[in-house]
Structure 1
């Protein structure tokens, strides 16, 4: 098995740092899936049905100037590496002004994901800071636990409002109770609310718009105003908004009635999906 990749653009290095920070906030341990055309980060291990789930994808051509990999075989041309997410973020977070950032699967005393950050000095010389992150190479029998989560067709999809605004609202409302109600309809409306024995708070968002595919799937006799809702653990929702660091060009909220909240962020060829089961 072989893997090495290089990012040379400062803008792309920043995107990878942001992505690594998001993964570190949402999954303590993650699996890095190396494919010929992309890198994928996911929650590690066999995830219980009622657990939150993270999935991130980075297209090969999105960030990397160089990219080479050889999987376990020609038929199974993939590599699965389990690692501590925070270790990766710590290794790359100081690379903002670096000339390049390199990732490579190496064999030291044990398998490692080696992160090499090339830094320029004021004298014009360069120095390379190397981090060897211990990884576990997953056997093929465990690959099935790290595949892209299958999300059932949702009842409603709506574009999210400004994430900074949402984060601020969720932070304030989270102090009031343990669970938050998220609801939306096919007319571009979304509400957030929280209720306790002593207080009830609700925030309204209008004219958000619905993704085209959700509009096309709408039955002709479906009430566009009817709200589809799901109660979720406010800590998980807050964790998502506090953890996400990329500046998405598209942000979507999908709701499967009383079952699942599925959040999707897209920045060019980088995507993040986070699923929160109903509470």
Structure 2
């Protein structure tokens, strides 16, 4: 089992750092799945028990100048590691002026992801700064626990408003309640609502648009059905954590709502996709 990679391009390094920073804001620990073509950062808290789930997929060819890996066996050329993403984020913070960053799997008293930074110096030779990040190797028998989360058939899919705007709205609402209702329809309308015994507050967004994968059958439904709202009541802190931690700068941000069951967010960049699942509360 071997893994080594290298990033030289500054823009690729900065982009990779932003992705890791985003994941750090979303979870304390996660699973890193390495394949020959992709990297996956996975969080699989049981949605049924009120936990969130995350699935972040990166194409390695868009980030790394060099990338080599050998999995545990020929049949399944993959490696699964458990790590604390904040440790990787801290290591990358010192990499902003580096000539290159090497990341490899090592064994130093315990399995580690070793991040070696080549930093410029006044002399002809470069300085190498090394960070050893402890990881746990996940045995093959447990790999099935880290499959991509299945998405139930959603009732509404809608583009999100500017994430910064949405974050500012939710930040104000969090002082009023621990819960928020997200509702949307197939006419490109979305509402964020707080309802308590003392106050009722709502923010309305219009003309957001619906993704093209909304079925033809749905588009042929009556106007009344297109106006029908699907909704989910969720933990406002989990929503704010998602919005506040976002540094991926997506080209598209989408919200899928399974009525009274789940909210599924998708952030799409040309070389990154991040899915985030928040279960609905009764």
- Taking the aligned partners of 1:157 and 1:211, their CA distance within structure 2 comes to 7
* Residue aligning to 2:46: 47
Partner of 2:270: 268
Q: Determine which of 238, 243, 251 is the counterpart of 2:240.
A: 238
Write the mapping of 1:1-279 to structure 2, written as runs, cut at 5 A.
Answer: 1-43=1-43, 47-49=46-48, 50-121=50-121, 125-216=125-216, 218=218, 220-222=220-222, 223-279=225-281
Question: Does structure 1 conserve the Cα–Cα contact (< 8 Å) formed by 2:154 and 2:257?
Answer: yes
Q: CA deviation at 1:98?
A: 2.0
In the TM superposition, residue 217 of structure 1 has moved relative to its aligned partner by: 5.6
Q: CA deviation at 1:8?
A: 1.3
CA 1:265–1:70: 2 relative to 1, 3 Å: same
Q: CA deviation at 1:218?
A: 1.6
The root-mean-square deviation of aligned C-alpha atoms, in Å, is 1.5
Query: Tell me, which stretches of 5 or more residues in structure 2 are unaligned?
Result: none
**Distance in 2 between residues matched to 1:54 and 1:143, nearest whole Å:** 16
- In the aligned structure 2, how far is the partner of 1:97 from the partner of 1:47? 40
Paired residue secondary structure (1:130): strand
Contact residue 62 and residue 268 of structure 1 kept, 8 A: no
Moved over 4 A (4+): 122-125
Cα drift, residue 99 of structure 1? 1.9
Deviations 1:33-74 (A, max 9, x none): 001110000116x63523101111100212111111111111
TM-score if structure 2 supplies the norm length? Answer: 0.94
> Conserved in 2, the CA contact under 8 Å of 1:186 and 1:215?
no
Relative to structure 1, the CA distance from residue 259 to residue 10 in structure 2 (aligned partners, 3 Å threshold; closer, same or farther) is same
Taking the aligned partners of 1:93 and 1:72, their CA distance within structure 2 comes to 31
Equivalent residue pairs, number: 278
Other structure's SS at 2:214 match: helix
Contact 1:56–1:273 at 8 Å: present in 2 too? yes
CA distance in 2, matches of 1:42, 1:254: 19
